[in-house]
Structure 1
Amino acid sequence: MQQTIALWQHRYRKYTHLLKVYLHFFKVYTQIIFLKIRFLGKRKIVAIILTQQFGDIVAGEPIARQIRQKHPDDYMLWVVKPVFKELVEDNPNLDGIIEEFCANQRRLLLNSGIFDVVYNLQFRNNSHCPICQIYVENPVADARNVTIHNYYFQGNLLTVQQKMAGLPLEDLAPCLFLKDEHRKKIDKLNLPSRYIVVHGQSAQNSRNWDNTKWETLINYLLQSTDYTIVEIGLSSDLNLKNDRYINLCGQLSILETGEVIRRAKLFIGIDSGPAHLANAVGTYGLIMIGKLADFTNHIPYSGKYKSGENALIVRNTDGPSADIPVNKVIDALNQHQLL
């Protein structure tokens, strides 16, 4: 009986999800049809497909500028997951966004031919809906020999996206579109004027330092400087009690986090989304990067983080960034007089 109940619960979730997929598809399809009627062929509908990994979206912001130059009078849409829409919804180079319900909905839109021009920046491996059991292929990227297995051999994230889109390879720094509401929210926190931001947890465990390393580094910073240490991210398991340690994890939106980083003296973190925020807002960063699959000396960033003008990369070419010793980071901070 329990197996039967579980089977029918699974079927209910799956078919309910599929119904929502088609409802979302038809909603967007109808909206674009009305746009085409309104434009009477005078404006093309251009879609940028980059739905997730918010660091990738931040790194790819210059793509919208390049595509706008190529399509000055066309109607540009960015397809994105709702949780990341704040990163693109106020981009002045876009006319709108499409909130993606799941990868299958995106597949239906692409296959429908509703878009006049598509810039698909998404790999197959992060274009999967486990409920629909659907992967969305990217034959254009495959034809240009850009795959999940070789992309970092071809450049940073922006360069890879430019190659996938067939755009000029320009080293453009990303921008973040902060508004007064983000500044006012952070004003209310009454943060001190001098602080260092740290970020230590990503979705990929191999990048994450264990708590002991972070506690050792933060205690060193508290004892050796007069800076307050502000931790950001989704969550924290650190056991720290100090008046100059502030835990903001789980309390801020992405752009509010960007504003906190913008005001900081220094950003110290692993290679993850907030590091891309630091690059976009111009805060000097010490970034820990380890070996990733076959990539050992890759650089994810463009602009001054790529050139090293505004960032110091601490590497582990033999293994993950989780294995980087605390002393190596402390020595880098002191040798480059970052404190």
Structure 2
Amino acid sequence: MIENRVEKILIVRLSAIGDVIHSLPTAYALRQKHPNAQIDWLVEEQSYPLVKLNPYLDNVIILPRKRWKKLINKDFIKGVRSFFSFFKKLRAEKYDITLDLQGLFKSAISSFLVNPNLRMGPSDGRELSTLFYQAKIDLPEKKGHRIYKYLHFAGALEAEMNEINYGLKLTPVIKSRVSRLFEENKIDAKNKIVVLNPFTNWESKNWFLESYFKLANELIKKGYYVIFTGSRDDKDAIDSFGAVEQDKYSNLAGKTDLQELAEVYRRAALYIGGDTGPTHLAAAVGIPVIALMGPTDPETNGPFGEGHTVIQDNSLECIRCWDRHCSRNMQCMKSISVEQVLRIAKKKLSD
């Protein structure tokens, strides 16, 4: 049993974007149980903007791993000093508990170097992470969505796990920035907006770009406005889109940060994409999602909540293989047709 008098908690979930999004409800659950505690979050730079939105946290701290790598390569001594100076400041906070939601070496060693009174983490942690925990949390054996896995950590601190609250508080400043972005890109918000996010971080999870382009043109013909999103690296590939009407789509790849992306999605009527962080962000802000999935499992990794649809061909022997690079000619993604996605999209848009 954890004592009710917990004054300082540090949540450690460093990356990736999708898992960080699924972890966000733990902050709300812990805040309900420990309303007067200082609850902080240690995260890497990429996901920082989303965690920073959460009103149930007191401080969001960036773990500057990339900066340390650059420093060490340039000036080893300076890089090492920066590393130890960072954790010295965190130790000075005198945390009662660090709660490692990630269960990897990088998160566990971070928790260890913070030196709280109690280090907690998953009993099934990888990369020798369990060696650093003083209390190991047994997660449910039954397979379920990752969001429940992360809430189970809050349950270990006697918090209620029934309510899902991401804490994505989109401020007037963020909304104003997106309004300006829409004006600059001449986005026609009078018609329903459909967001297409073609790329993921695994080659095997990507539906085909030409299929997204065909789908986009069909949606444009039906009177919808299409917005493509993605990273800066995706921009050039998406720029090759030949639209049937040039003023009925925009390519916002690389033009938003994560906070602005959340607001873009909030303004849309529908999101379509693969198993990737933006897909989970769209679900978190409450718009209908169509997820195109092959190598991963919708039960654990699909869009969370009601009103979403996963398209996956479960008749294939190789489905849910979890391979990052496909050796089977991308059969699972080839089995998803433009007509099938369009049919489901039209139904959701007419509801």
Shift of 1:79: 0.3
Give the aligned residue type for 2:228. E
Post-superposition Cα deviations, 1:141-161, rounded to whole Å, max 9, x if no partner, equal 9944449xx8xx532121011
Q: 1:94–1:322: structure 2 CA closer, same or farther, 3 Å change rule?
A: same
TM-score, normalised with respect to structure 1: 0.72
CA distance in 1, matches of 2:348, 2:28: 34
Q: Is 2:259 the partner of 1:255?
A: yes
Partner of 2:96: 116
CA distance in 1, matches of 2:178, 2:252: 11
Post-superposition Cα deviations, 1:215-234, rounded to whole Å, max 9, x if no partner, equal 121122122x1111100110
Please give the secondary structure, in 1, of the residue aligned with 2:162.
coil
Please give the secondary structure, in 2, of the residue aligned with 1:261.
helix
Partner of 2:325: none
Q: 1:63–1:210: structure 2 CA closer, same or farther, 3 Å change rule?
A: same
Q: Is 2:183 the partner of 1:181?
A: no
For structure 1, which segment, 260-269 or 324-333, has the greater mean C-alpha deviation from structure 2 after superposition?
324-333
Partner of 1:298: 300
Q: 1:221–1:63: structure 2 CA closer, same or farther, 3 Å change rule?
A: same
Match among 122, 140, 147 for residue 158 of structure 1: 147
**Aligned sequence identity (%):** 22
Shift of 1:90: 3.6
Partner of 1:57: 20
Match among 309, 313, 316 for residue 313 of structure 2: 316
| Cα RMSD for the two superposed structures | 3.4
Partner of 1:327: 339
Partner of 2:224: 227
Q: Is 2:44 the partner of 1:81?
A: yes
CA contact (8 A) 1:291 1:297 kept: no
Give the aligned residue type for 2:49. E
Give the aligned residue type for 1:46. I
Give the aligned residue type for 1:196. V
Give the aligned residue type for 2:251. N
Partner of 2:268: 264
CA distance in 2, matches of 1:274, 1:201: 10
CA distance in 1, matches of 2:262, 2:211: 24
Post-superposition Cα deviations, 1:13-35, rounded to whole Å, max 9, x if no partner, equal xxxxxxxxxxxxxxxxxxxxxxx
Matched pairs, number: 281
CA contact (8 A) 1:46 1:118 kept: yes
CA contact (8 A) 1:175 1:280 kept: no
CA contact (8 A) 2:188 2:248 kept: no
CA contact (8 A) 2:28 2:165 kept: no
Q: 1:45–1:127: structure 2 CA closer, same or farther, 3 Å change rule?
A: closer
CA contact (8 A) 1:81 1:101 kept: yes
Give the aligned residue type for 1:91. N
Q: 1:336–1:92: structure 2 CA closer, same or farther, 3 Å change rule?
A: closer
Shift of 1:87: 1.2
Please give the secondary structure, in 2, of the residue aligned with 1:226.
coil
CA contact (8 A) 1:58 1:176 kept: no
Please give the secondary structure, in 2, of the residue aligned with 1:47.
strand
Give the aligned residue type for 1:217. L
Give the aligned residue type for 2:241. L
Q: 1:254–1:67: structure 2 CA closer, same or farther, 3 Å change rule?
A: same
Please give the secondary structure, in 2, of the residue aligned with 1:243.
helix
Partner of 2:200: 202
Give the aligned residue type for 1:187. S
